[in-house]
Structure 1
């Protein structure tokens, strides 16, 4: 008899929603899903403390190392920047839409047509800085928590609009509530955006084999390039650092463009660079060299 594959995920509605397709894709493999309360990022107390790496992942990684689960499901942007010794990312699912989106009560309003002094809810340093740079006449209201809670605040008229991840709305079945998908040139996505990663113990080759059919090689290349930028620049989930890697295939040559952006919290200073190479790692390293050469480390620390 085949032993059930024990899959660990955070107990939030979002995490369970994004875990469901994974379970379906692995069928008919016997599976057990273990939800975790999420010590750190999911706690109601001290929710503002997101200024550290891997805040969402500590409990689930501890269970994986202990052998209590076989696979951990992570949003890559929330996973630790550096691999925890003994653990590694075994599969990256095909990437979803990396763009943020605007959600409003009035579907006719967009980011450009929100009235002056409208209040936009977000606790993200990245989103707030981009909003202040693009629409300095808007008010940014710190708002954190599950998407369902933020939507409730919106419809209670406590804020006029929300900025959330497009993929989050889609995974929750709320695509119809998306008012506008925001151009990444206006709000640059976080490194690792819209990627679900499956983590295992490094020596658990049997589990790695069982989940290998979910792996998307192109997403792996992009993900690893983005993680390299995070490691080089000292970034994490809510750091003043954003960017993404894109794959360019003209039918003859495949190249990889890495974009990275370091910014001040006020949105008045930013360094935005790109590099394109035939090797994604080379693109990532060139972007980091440019950022550092223009004082990107200093700007990030000041934010």
Structure 2
């Protein structure tokens, strides 16, 4: 008899929606999905003022270390920047769209055509700073909670528009609500965006073997490169740091573009760095050096 694979995920509609394809891909392996409510932990934390790493994953990681589950399902951008001792990111699913998107009641509107003074809902420091820099006339309203609740606020006319992750809208079946996918030059994505990571115990080789078919090598390289930038710059889930690693493959050669942006929460100061090279680690370290030379650490401290 095959031992069921026990997966742990947060008990949110988003987490369960992104876990469903994993269960389907691992079939016919018998599986059990354990939702974690986060009571007394991460669900009681407001996202916007977070000032520590990994607060969304502590309960699931504790269960993984205790042997209560075999695999933890994470959104990489919410996972700890540093690997928890005894645990490892054993597989990365193929990356989805890293861009944020504009959601409006009028599908013809774009970020550039929103009326002067329109209210835009987001609790993200990163999105708010980018919007203030690009459209200082807009009124940014702090709006948190599940995507479904934010959509309800939009259609109840509490706000005029939302900025949401494109991959979130797609995973929840709301692709048709996307008015515009926003250029990363305008709103730079969070490091680790649009990546689902599967975490196991470091010594659990059997489980790692069972989930290996879900692993995407290109995504692993991008994910680990972005985590390196986070570690070097002291970033985490909602810190004023954004960026991505992009694989460039023309069929003959492969290179990697690493981009990172540090910014002040009010959007008045941004520091950008972008390096392309054959080795993603070298490019990431070079980007961190450029950010440091341009005052990113002092900006974060301020």
Supply the distance in 2 between the matched residues of 1:233 and 1:94 (Cα, whole angstroms).
25
Supply the distance in 2 between the matched residues of 1:301 and 1:140 (Cα, whole angstroms).
24
Match of 1:53, SS?
coil
Does 2:297 match 1:297? yes
Aligned twin of 1:266: 266
Once the two structures are superposed, residues 131-171 of structure 1 have per-residue CA deviations (whole angstroms, 9 ceiling, x without a partner) of: 00000000000011110111111111110000000000000
Match of 1:137, SS?
coil
Match of 2:282, SS?
helix
Match of 1:257, SS?
strand
Aligned twin of 2:21: 21
Contact 2:10 2:16 in 1 (8 A): yes
Does 2:102 match 1:102? yes
Contact 1:10 1:36 in 2 (8 A): yes
Question: How big is the shift at 1:50?
Answer: 2.0
- List structure 1 runs of 4+ shifted beyond 6 angstroms: none
Aligned twin of 2:210: 210
Aligned twin of 1:75: 75
TM-score (norm 1): 0.98
1:28-47 alignment runs, 5 A limit: 28-39=28-39, 40-43=41-44, 46=46
Supply the distance in 2 between the matched residues of 1:27 and 1:59 (Cα, whole angstroms).
26
Does 2:134 match 1:134? yes
Supply the distance in 2 between the matched residues of 1:65 and 1:295 (Cα, whole angstroms).
39
Once the two structures are superposed, residues 247-287 of structure 1 have per-residue CA deviations (whole angstroms, 9 ceiling, x without a partner) of: 01122211111000000011010111111111111110000
Supply the distance in 1 between the matched residues of 2:111 and 2:279 (Cα, whole angstroms).
36
Match of 1:259, SS?
strand
Question: How big is the shift at 1:199?
Answer: 0.1
Question: How big is the shift at 1:9?
Answer: 0.3
Aligned twin of 2:8: 8
1:46-125 alignment runs, 5 A limit: 46=46, 48-125=48-125
Supply the distance in 2 between the matched residues of 1:78 and 1:99 (Cα, whole angstroms).
16
Once the two structures are superposed, residues 20-41 of structure 1 have per-residue CA deviations (whole angstroms, 9 ceiling, x without a partner) of: 0000000000000000012544
Match of 2:19, SS?
helix
Contact 2:47 2:238 in 1 (8 A): no
Supply the distance in 2 between the matched residues of 1:186 and 1:246 (Cα, whole angstroms).
17
Supply the distance in 2 between the matched residues of 1:26 and 1:258 (Cα, whole angstroms).
32
1:90-239 alignment runs, 5 A limit: 90-239=90-239
Supply the distance in 2 between the matched residues of 1:152 and 1:246 (Cα, whole angstroms).
34
| Cα gap change, 1:247 to 1:47, in 2 (>3 Å) | closer
TM-score (norm 2): 0.98
Supply the distance in 2 between the matched residues of 1:2 and 1:49 (Cα, whole angstroms).
45
Contact 2:48 2:124 in 1 (8 A): no
The two structures, once aligned, show a CA RMSD in angstroms of 1.0
Once the two structures are superposed, residues 207-250 of structure 1 have per-residue CA deviations (whole angstroms, 9 ceiling, x without a partner) of: 00000000000000000000000000000010000000000112
Contact 2:133 2:267 in 1 (8 A): yes
Contact 1:257 1:276 in 2 (8 A): yes
Match of 2:211, SS?
helix
Contact 1:41 1:47 in 2 (8 A): no
Supply the distance in 1 between the matched residues of 2:28 and 2:46 (Cα, whole angstroms).
41
Match of 1:112, SS?
helix
Supply the distance in 1 between the matched residues of 2:5 and 2:294 (Cα, whole angstroms).
48
Match of 2:112, SS?
coil
Supply the distance in 2 between the matched residues of 1:57 and 1:173 (Cα, whole angstroms).
25
